[in-house]
Amino acid sequence: MNNPDSQSDQTPGGVEAVGLDIGHLIRRMEALLVAMKAAGDASRYFLATYLRTTRAVADELAAGGFLDQVWVERWDVVFADLYLDALAAWNAGQAPAEPWRVAFTAARDGNLPPLRQVLLGMNAHINYDLPLALLAVIGDTDFADPALVARRVRDHTHIDMVLLHRVAAEDEAITAATGGKNLWERIKTPLERRATGHFLREARAKVWANTRLMAAARARGDQGEYGRLRTELARRSAAKLDQLARAREVLFQLWVRGFGVRLKGA
């Protein structure tokens, strides 16, 4: 995995990502969303949000907004595949990674608000999947190049900016899909929107710390340590999701306990 552009590169789950572009990804997500809506699957709220944000990233790619357009597109596809593969496993009656098992199980609760389902999906995808996606598209020699890593971090940060521009629109889309907000929800809306930026910044910092720790184990050839760290990442991410699924006020829980997870030693 030293050469991130090698035709033999695969995602951590073993899914070949070469040759798939963001347009193909969007079409795949659109078809899946149609099926989930028809089935009344509550997990569709996260997928719908993810689809809209993926379209926004595609627009930014088309506008040339990143330092490395090719790398960002490849990373975006690899990242999304981790979620889509977990969802496919769940729908097939198989066991996905533990964080996704918690998120998908919570979605079965008919009383769980759509916003919370979206936040659960975001936590599973960012805290668990994102480090694995970064490891899949940044090779060991690349991690040893500070200038290249700085470029990757800048593009990652720019995606956060794209997402932040979507916050108000996503809030309105979720509200429209669920028939409006009550008084308390309307009062909280401005705070919730401002909190999103804080959560993204915090999560990004922890994701990169976890990724660098795992990358160091991989570069040493220490497969035992790499496997232990990946298991710890799944465990900590699942525990975070379990807390959020049971919390009365999920955003308050995020403020108190933080959005991301941090591996020991990261």
Segment 7-51, tens digit of pLDDT: 333 334 333 444 469 999 999 999 999 999 999 888 898 999 999
pLDDT band at 181 (very low <50, low <70, confident <90, very high): low
Asked whether residue 196 carries a pLDDT value surpassing 90, the answer given is no
Task: Determine the pLDDT at residue 217.
Answer: 97
Q: Please provide the DSSP assignment of 171-240 as one string.
A: HHHHHHHHT---HHHHHHHHHHHHHHHHHHHHHHHHHHHHHHHHHHHHHTT-HHHHHHHHHHHHHHHHHH
Considering the chain, what percentage of its residues have pLDDT values greater than 70?
A: 75
Model-level pTM?
Answer: 0.83
Contacts with 189 (C-beta within 8 Å, 6 or more apart), sequence order: 171, 181
Name the residue with higher pLDDT: 95 or 170: 95
